[in-house]
Amino acid sequence: MNSEYFFLAPNSIKKIICCLLLFFCISDVTAQSSKEDMRQLIDRQYKLAEKQYRILASNTPIGRMPKTFYAKSNKFETSDTKWWCSGFYPGSLLYIYEYTKDETTLKEAELRLASLAKEKHYTGNHDLGFMMYCSFGNAYRLNKKPEYKTTIDTAAASLTTRYRPDAKVIQSWNSSKKWKGPVIIDNLMNLELLLWVAQNGGDQKYKEVALNHADATLANHFRPDFSSYHVVDYDMTNGEVVRKGTAQGASDDSAWSRGQGWALYGYTMMYRFTKDKKYLGFAQNIASYILNSPTLPKDKIPYWDFNAKDIPNTYRDASAAAIIASALLELGQYSSSKDKKYYTDQAREMLVSLSSKEYTAEEGSNGGFLLKHSTGALPLKSEIDVPLTYADYYYLEALMRYKNWYL
């Protein structure tokens, strides 16, 4: 071997070491810059949310909840407290208060909680988790008032009245001419209420109900590619599947975007409570379906259905993006370092897009809502390309999760 090599090697090694040090220094500076950018983005968005939600409060009569706003007709729409979205407005207020410490925002949240509290007895559908846990769950997390926990416990008992033991599922909607025993993918989200109560001094039957429902949904709601049906209709006397279809998707066999978000969030949440790796693996497979979809746009804000026939000439769903981003951030907490970075990067891209002028309302506009361009139920011609309370809620939750976990 040429002896000249040995004289050159030390210098070459020094150069390599210098290059590596420079690379790591640049990487560290880039990471710090990215973190600072996200800190500024989160701060900006929460301050805007505080201002917007003061407008929202002024537009919403006492005893009602904000529903949506139609910019073309300048029409603001509210709902009663039995509407499935009634918990998202106080829940969003509580996230805003948590960040800003604005007492006016807290008082507004408490005012709305007071009008919502009676729905702890509601048994008309499966939405008690959305209604009572997104609201009173956050309220109890921030202020351990005993009455908040009592409300949550009572809501869990109300929800379990819809459990059908022969089918081992919670029935979503009442029977109708169209559906015999419908269970929708959204119902996974309400299991958080049951699991939390069981974990915090409540009856362990709530956990059993949640596990049974999650397992039945895992077995019956998903296709081989891990996309989800919206509705599975059961014979509640024996648990047999009658048919699979949709109420809000493009077709019975399509992947309704918000439904995929519910599925991802739901099984990630199931892993949080149970540490059962089958739920974690399933959530990761759902994430893979979503993030690798050929119809997912470059800005990561899904069309309202991943299989909509008129893509790209159709509507986006900011609410689906917000739910998916929040779920990915939690999924990253339970994944390997490589996967954690991937999920976090994907979620950050979604949040950056949602925080842009394309999706975030200008101050004073949008009826007081924060995000634009959500799609409620296009086949039903309902809430198309409008702001929605749950879009704001999961967006604010995702921003808070990013702040707490990744900054």
The token pair that represents 295 in the structure block: 């119809």
Distances in Å between the Cα of 85 and the Cα atoms of 132, 168, 401 are 10, 26, 21
Say which of 153, 186, 305, 392 is annotated catalytic: 186
User: Contact, 210 vs 194, CB < 8 A?
Assistant: yes
Structure-token match 């269970």, residue found: 183
> For the chain, what is the total number of helices (H) and then of strands (E)?
13, 9
**Is 233 known to sit in a ligand binding site?**
no
Active site residue 299: no
Please tell me the distance from the alpha carbon of residue 172 to that of residue 185, in angstroms, as a whole number.
Answer: 9
**Is 272 known to sit in a ligand binding site?**
no
Q: Where are the beta strands (DSSP E) in 116-264?
A: 163-164, 169-170, 182-184, 231-235, 240-245
Side chain identity at 140, as an amino acid letter?
Y
Radius of gyration of the chain (CA): 23
User: Contact, 171 vs 236, CB < 8 A?
Assistant: yes
Please tell me the distance from the alpha carbon of residue 275 to that of residue 273, in angstroms, as a whole number.
Answer: 6
The token pair that represents 304 in the structure block: 């309202």
Residue 181: phi, psi to the nearest 5?
A: -145, 75
Q: How many CB atoms lie within 10 A of CB 31?
A: 10
Active site residue 186: yes
**Is 258 known to sit in a ligand binding site?**
yes
The token pair that represents 166 in the structure block: 């022969």
**Is 127 known to sit in a ligand binding site?**
yes
The token pair that represents 51 in the structure block: 């201002």
Cis status of the peptide bond prior to 302, with omega within 30 of 0 = no
In three-state secondary structure terms, 356 is coil
CB-based contacts of 62: which residues, under 8 Å, 6+ apart? 111, 115
The token pair that represents 256 in the structure block: 């309704």
Say which of 43, 80, 127, 252 is annotated catalytic: 127
Tell me the CB-side half-sphere exposure of residue 306, using CA atoms within 13 A.
Answer: 25
Tell me the CB-side half-sphere exposure of residue 292, using CA atoms within 13 A.
Answer: 10
Please tell me the distance from the alpha carbon of residue 397 to that of residue 95, in angstroms, as a whole number.
Answer: 7
In three-state secondary structure terms, 222 is strand
Residue list, annotated binding site: 127, 186, 246, 258, 262
Residue list, annotated binding site for substrate: 127, 186, 246, 258, 262
Residues serving a catalytic function are: 127, 186
